[in-house]
A and B are shown apart, each in its own frame.
Chain A
Amino acid sequence: MSGVWVVMEERAGRVSRLSWEALAAARQLGAQIDLAVSVAIVGAAVEPLAAEIAAKGVSKVVRVEHPLLAPYTADGFLSALSQLVEKELPAYAVLPHSYQVRDYAPALAARMGQVLISDVVAIGEGQVFTRQLLQGRLNGSYRHSGSGTCFVSVQAGAFRVEEIAEAGTAAIEVFTPAIEPAQIRTKPSEPFRGSAQTVDLSSAPLIVSVGRGIKGEENLPLVQELATALGAELAASRPICDNGWLPLERQVGSSGQTVSPKLYLAVGISGAIQHLVGMKGSQCIVAINKDADAPIFEVANYGIVGDLFEVVPALTEAVKAAQQ
């Protein structure tokens, strides 16, 4: 077995932020068990990225390169990374929990007779991996047993990226996997934007956001009135946009926009992790929810436990009164 390996990803020509967080997690794990941290970066040509990573205090960087590795396909990455894992036999393989990793890593682990511990938020002593259950209302401690590589993917925002002083420069190697064109069974298109994005929530200083607790489309005016009184943009969690009650461009979360306003007022949003990653950087978070145990309160500065159908109209009145 050869240490802790991180599979880092490219996004728009750069190493993705989530990849640096995965490296931070791997470094924490490596320090616990005194193992060196190496990095694999996969693509058709990843030399500049490898050079950047090599200066970040890792022991080795491997460019896993093949013309068939761009654009990304699950078949291509599975083939390439399974060959790398067989060659290097890592004790741990740490990956960012990106949409891309979710697409191939469960199969990669399975191909090795292993199981990915996905979406990890903390790594404890004794290699106990914490991940969230029941939409963030419960934490679970997982452990890997048996021999073989332990595969772990880490959640966005869970591990802090720190600057490494005196990092030196790691050796860079090239690994060319054997891949045949016939192995790639899927043909992906270029990414495209959904509808024309006319609402830029990321620049709004005040946001009122609504979730499942609003119950029906006919109740939306209630939160719209609060947003208007505050001069805030109206946003929503995924279920509201899934139901077509508000357009997708108003969705906050991993599949929508990431926001960090001065004030984020969450109305009837329980706070599933996919939502929290899109708004937990807000300066001040207020949550109104009937369930005192809702995960949204874990990130809220102010909370009101109560019936939103009573609290929201009262709040609209209080905001109007304060402006007079």
Chain B
Amino acid sequence: MKIIVAIKQVPERDAQVRIDASGKWIDESGVQYALNESDAYALEEALQLKEQQGGEVVVVSAGPERVGTTIREALAKGADRGIHIDCDDLGDRDALGVAKLLAAAVKPENADLLLTGLQSDDLGLGQTGVILAELLGLPHATLILHVEKTDAGLTVKRELEEGWFQTIVLPTPAVLTMQSGGTKLRYATLMGIKKAKTKEVRCVTVAELGVDAAPVITLERVSLPQKQKSTQFIQGSAKEAAATLVEKLKFEARVL
């Protein structure tokens, strides 16, 4: 089974949020990057399927040079090779533009299964996998927690709202977007990290893929959110703050 996993490098969860001079994104100087969380689950699912079924896991990621470290991280966990779409203007492309890049890069691979996370932790659009399926003309399912390979194709467990689930049967090739929490994530071993250094990462340029950037929707400006409630911040040492809070909950909010 040949499985492609589309992964994204995103700012670390507790990266400092300072708006940059353009007003269109955060100042990324000093920001650390990490593999997008739900993409990590997509990778894990792919590696487990490969362990059961045999085959190959190929990771693909679009972005500037620094994305290479995230691709190596995936290779260290067990992916067989990587495709790096070298793209310095990812932020100027909308979800369709990014999906076009990925579609052009993975199409020649003729994979049996394409996995990605359900959404990115930075832009949170939650669309890339679904658009990728549309562009490739493949069936898809979203918010998947578990994938089982069958003779006829795939049986997947899909998360619905408020604690409900359903099972979906679909043929391969297919695209699935993975929800977090369906399985346990592995860590890269020292041996894995060593092996990753010799694995193939093919770099393709946007020009080679022949995809233009012209976006339909544009992010014009970013701003810090305004508070919906005026929070009373309680100061002092942990002990003082705790005592004040209990007082307030009893006599001001009257909830204790």
What is A's interface to B at a CB cutoff of 8 Å?
Answer: 74-75, 78, 98-99, 102-104, 106-107, 109-111, 113-119, 128, 131-146, 148, 185-194, 197, 206, 212, 230, 238-239, 241-244, 248-249, 254-258, 262-263, 270, 283-287, 291-293, 295, 297-307, 310-311, 313-315, 317-319, 321-322
Partner of B227, one of A113, A138, A188, A297: A297
Chain A contact residues: helix, strand, loop or mixed: mixed
Partner of B232, one of A117, A194, A302: A302
Q: State the CA gap A173–B123 with chains docked (Å).
A: 38
Find chain B residues with CB under 8 A from A99 CB: 142-143, 159-161
Q: State the CA gap A287–B141 with chains docked (Å).
A: 36
B49 at the interface (CB under 8 A from A): no
Scan B130-174; emit 1 where CB is below 8 A from any A CB, else 0: 110111000111110000000000000011111111111111000
Q: Is the CB of A301 within 8 A of B232?
A: yes
B191 at the interface (CB under 8 A from A): no
Q: Is the CB of B242 within 8 A of A300?
A: no
Q: Is the CB of A298 within 8 A of B216?
A: no
Which residues from 169 to 202 on chain B have a C-beta closer than 8 Å to any C-beta of chain A? 169-171, 179-181, 184
Q: Is the CB of B139 within 8 A of A298?
A: no
Q: State the CA gap A137–B19 with chains docked (Å).
A: 11
Which residues from 189 to 240 on chain B have a C-beta closer than 8 Å to any C-beta of chain A? 215-229, 231-234, 238-239
Q: State the CA gap A238–B159 with chains docked (Å).
A: 13
Q: Is the CB of B217 within 8 A of A256?
A: no
Given the known inter-chain contacts A133-B122, A304-B241, please indicate yes or no for A257 contacting B216, CB distance below 8 A.
no
Return 23 A-B CB contacts under 8 Å, by A number. A74-B130, A98-B161, A99-B142, A107-B130, A110-B96, A118-B127, A132-B225, A134-B17, A137-B225, A138-B26, A139-B223, A243-B181, A263-B253, A284-B249, A285-B229, A301-B253, A302-B233, A304-B234, A304-B241, A311-B241, A314-B243, A317-B239, A318-B239
